[in-house]
Amino acid sequence: MSSFFHGRSLLLSIACVAVLVLFADPLVAHEPREMARMQQTIDILTKQLADANTKIRRLEASVASRRGRNAPVASAGCDVGDARANVQLADGKMAEGEALESWIRDFGKNCTPQELTQLKLLANELFYGQSSLDLIDLLR
């Protein structure tokens, strides 16, 4: 009688494991899609944050100029946060280098020496950042 209950409990255990595998498999398959969707959301929010920071800096510069202050505010066309967001949105190491290089070509002329230093640090973090470093050196 003992072997009957043992066999029955073994069969019940196997059935439980089979049910768990059946229900867990779709969850595992769903996870990469969910992670990709979350990464897209993060990328969009990063870009929106960079845009908002740019608008804030421009508003601060406008308010400071109306009050007659010569407050040190970032140049209107140079936002290192925006450059970093563009790099983060790029797909792949080569695209990151190209995104930074393109951003520097478009906005680098408006950057202060401090901002160029920040851009240089960003370029040093990239695998394909040498052309960006060369552009920064030309702007100095």
The reported pLDDT for the residue numbered 28 is: 57
Q: What pLDDT score was predicted for residue 74?
A: 47
Question: pTM of the full predicted structure?
Answer: 0.50
- What is the DSSP annotation of 100-131? HHHHHHHHGGG--HHHHHHHHHHHHHSTT-HH
Written as tens digits, the pLDDT of the chain (140 aa) is 455 445 566 666 777 676 666 666 665 556 788 888 888 888 888 777 777 777 777 777 667 767 765 545 444 578 888 888 888 888 888 888 898 998 999 889 989 999 999 999 999 988 878 888 888 888 87
Please enumerate in sequence order all residues whose Cβ is within 8 A of that of 119, keeping only pairs 6 or more positions apart, or say none.
80, 83, 100, 104, 108, 111, 132, 136
The pLDDT, as a whole number, for residue 121 is 92
Q: Roughly what angle, to the nearest 10 degrees, separates helices 130-139 and 93-107?
A: 10
Inter-CA distances, 12 with 2, 4, 8, Å: 15, 12, 6
Question: d(Cα 94, Cα 91) in Å, to the nearest integer?
Answer: 8
What per-residue confidence (pLDDT) applies to 71?
47
Q: How far apart are CA 48 and CA 28, in angstroms?
A: 31
